[in-house]
Amino acid sequence: MTKRIFRTLCLVSFTALAASLILILGVLYDYFSRIQQTQLAMQVQLAAQGVEKLGEAYFDGLDVREYRVTWLDSAGDVLYDSGTPSADLENHLARPEVRQALAEGTGQSRRMSATLTERMLYAAQKLSDGTVLRMAVAQSSIFVMLLGAGQGLAAVILLVLVLALLLSRRLSRRIVEPLGALDLDAPLQNTGCEELEPLLRRLDRQQRQLRAQAEMRRQFTANVSHELKTPLHVISGYAELIENGLARDEDIRPFAGKIRGGVQQMVKLVEDIISLSHLDEGAPATQTEQTDLHAAAAAAAEELASEAEAAGVCLELSGRSAPLSAVPALIRSIAFNLIENGIKYNHPGGHVWIRTVPEDGGAVLTVRDDGPGIPPEQQEHIFERFYRGDESRSKDIPGTGLGLSIVKHAALVLGAEIELDSAPGRGTAVTVRFPASGKTG
Ligand code: ADP
């Protein structure tokens, strides 16, 4: 990263240097040509005064060196030229500076020379007799000027380059240094880096989430092992009695029943854990279908009919068709677990009333029983994973403590709301309100 910042800084400084050089040279070149042009105009003015006084005699023995002096009559024909014999020269009337001088008294222009290495500056002045005096001088091109300034310029460029390199290196290190010094184990303890605060806060949040997840996983594993131990002890205990011949013939069948009960409890536990882990992953939206809450509740009641009959509990389904767009497996899971609890936590001769109605484009399911009810202090815990009421454990009512947490999680995935109304001695009612459009994810 340091290298990247360094390279970027170098690139920026070099580009800035090149751009300012081009700009400065351009401005200077233009500035000097204007000075040169003004000087030329003054010189032609002086020379014009000489010609006015002396006439052609002015040109005798004139030493003009790099200047070229031309005297033209009012028709543009050359009377005198310091470079070439005047007879060889063509008419000059077409030259812009000559035309301008004839019209306005003075004229100026600049043109590239035939070889394009030089630019020629021209200044012309009209004399009182109508003739025109013109002077020309070559202006060196920008490249020649650059070559002239060569050494000084090279020294300045070198100095700026070295400075840019040194500063870029220092700057890139200073930008990266605080990043290396960050304490990533305690993101919020880092001070003096306001720009990184959102990143650090996010890091801290993620770390806390990870820690919480690890803690949940640990608790979950401990709970699963604990819940598995009871049926395993039952199974191995009764199996051992049969193996050692300690069971009488008439005991064998009830013992086998106990073993089967233990196995069933383990199967139920595994099923519930699988349901929960599916829910933890979040049901994909593609599983959403147009279903009917009433039909789902009826199917769940049907599945549990024999269990209800064995417990002497009467299942009563009422209400009407309640169409819903949701994940069918989750609706089934909610209805099944609630009805099963109504049967399990009940007494012979008890009832479970199941009712479904459409509401505000969504649907509502209510499962009510006339069982023992739930003590107020337990009500906030019953939706927790592996929570089982004291009664359920002491009375040996089979269960995993996962039923209601599956209901809660499935409702969350579907965007449904749960309402619990229960009091000891008055039974329990759980109402689940499904929203108009099934929400998943
Ligand atoms: P499980 O039924 O396997 O114990 P749940 O999560 O379904 O697990 O229920 C948690 C606890 O809530 C139960 O152990 C029980 O004490 C209490 N409970 C749930 N439903 C009822 C109900 N309809 N009547 C009385 N108590 C209930």
Res 440: pLDDT: 47
**CB atoms < 10 A from the CB of 388, how many?**
19
Mutation to probe ligand 1, out of 341, 351, 370, 428 (largest number of atoms < 8 A from CB): 341
Q: Phi/psi at 109 (nearest 5 deg)?
A: -165, 165
The total of other beta-carbon atoms located within 10 Å of residue 87's CB is: 8
User: Residues of 348-374 as b/e, b for ≥16 C-beta within 10 angstroms?
Assistant: eebbbbbbbebeeebbbbbbbbbbbbb
Residue 392 beta carbon below 6 angstroms from any ligand 1 atom? yes
Q: From the CA of 407, how far away is ligand 1's center (Å)?
A: 11
> How far apart are the CA of 166 and the centre of ligand 1, in A?
73
pTM score, whole prediction: 0.61
The closest alpha carbon to 144, from 175, 115, 177, 182, belongs to: 115
Q: How far is the CA of 382 from the centre of ligand 1 (A)?
A: 6
CA distance 114 to 369: 110
> Residue 325 in 3-state DSSP?
strand
CB 350 less than 6 A from any atom of ligand 1: no
* Sites in the chain below the pLDDT cut of 50: 439-441
Judge if the beta carbon of residue 371 lies within 6 A of ligand 1: yes
The residue count of the chain comes to: 441
* Token pair recorded at residue 217: 């996983």
Q: How far is the CA of 341 from the centre of ligand 1 (A)?
A: 6
- What whole-number distance in Å separates Cα of residue 310 and Cα of residue 304? 10
Q: Which of 114, 108, 104 is nearest to 136 (CA)?
A: 108
Q: What are φ and ψ of residue 165, in 5° steps?
A: -65, -50
Q: Which of 364, 392, 368 is nearest to 314 (CA)?
A: 368
Please, are residues 367 and 429 in contact by the beta-carbon 8 Å criterion? yes
For 283-318, the pLDDT digits (tens) are: 666 688 899 999 999 999 999 999 999 999 999 999
Q: 193 with 18: CB under 8 angstroms?
A: no
Residue nearest to ligand 1 atom 20, measured at CA:
341
Q: How far is CA 359 from CA 36, 193, 319, 326, 433, in A?
A: 94, 53, 12, 15, 8
Pairing relationship of beta strands 351-359 and 427-434 according to DSSP bridges = unpaired
pLDDT for 441 equals 42
> What confidence score (pLDDT) does residue 142 get?
66
Strand order in the sheet with 132-140: 78-81, 67-72, 132-140, 118-126, 106-112
> Considering only CA atoms, which residue is closest to atom 11 of ligand 1?
388
Q: Ligand 1 in contact with 6 (CB < 6 A)?
A: no
For the chain, the C-alpha Rg in angstroms (whole number) is 51
What is the H or E stretch that residue 379 is in?
A: helix 376-379
User: Which residues 6+ apart lie within 8 Å of 258 measured at CB?
Assistant: 234, 238
| Residue for token pair 């009810």 | 373
Instruction: Decide: helix, strand or coil at residue 420.
Output: strand
d(CA 232, CA 125): 122
- The SS3 of residue 130 is coil
Ranges of beta strands (E only) in 238-312 are 289-292
Which regions of 32-159 does DSSP assign to beta strands (E)?
67-72, 78-81, 106-112, 118-126, 132-140
* pLDDT for the residue numbered 113: 64
